[in-house]
């Protein structure tokens, strides 16, 4: 879809300003793609029906070695596919353990929900 600069600036003034100054005001410090579960499930109480996925477990890790152990364990148990495990390993190798999101400390879910 093509749009002239004037209309774009009118519709998205803040984004247009950021693009002109080549300055990002929002940092993205994690990447989550192709997850088998949706985070957008609407539960009145978010703890009901919540099942942690591979990334939830990886976010509790301190280093790449621990994260790799989690991936291997979930793959061995058949809880994640070989293909998904490969994607996780590639991201872990290229971007590190914190690319999955900030570390989930003890009591994370008690504070969050």
Mind listing the pLDDT tens digit for each residue in 21-53? Answer: 765 666 666 666 655 454 554 445 566 667 888
| Pairwise CA distance, residues 24 & 16, whole Å | 11
Mind listing the pLDDT tens digit for each residue in 43-85? Answer: 455 666 678 889 999 999 999 999 999 999 999 999 999 999 9
Q: Where are the domains of the chain?
A: 33-112
| Pairwise CA distance, residues 60 & 107, whole Å | 11
């Amino acid at each position: 879809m093509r749009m002239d600069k004037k209309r774009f600036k009118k519709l998205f003034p803040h984004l247009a300003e950021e693009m002109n100054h080549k300055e990002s005001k929002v940092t993205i410090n994690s990447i989550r793609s192709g997850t088998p579960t949706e985070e957008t499930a609407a539960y009145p109480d978010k703890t009901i029906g919540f099942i942690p996925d591979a990334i939830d477990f990886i976010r509790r890790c301190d280093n790449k070695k621990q994260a790799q152990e989690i991936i291997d364990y979930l793959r061995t148990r058949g809880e994640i596919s070989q293909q998904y495990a490969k994607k996780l390993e590639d991201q872990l190798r290229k971007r590190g353990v914190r690319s999955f999101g900030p570390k989930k400390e003890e009591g994370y879910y008690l504070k969050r929900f």
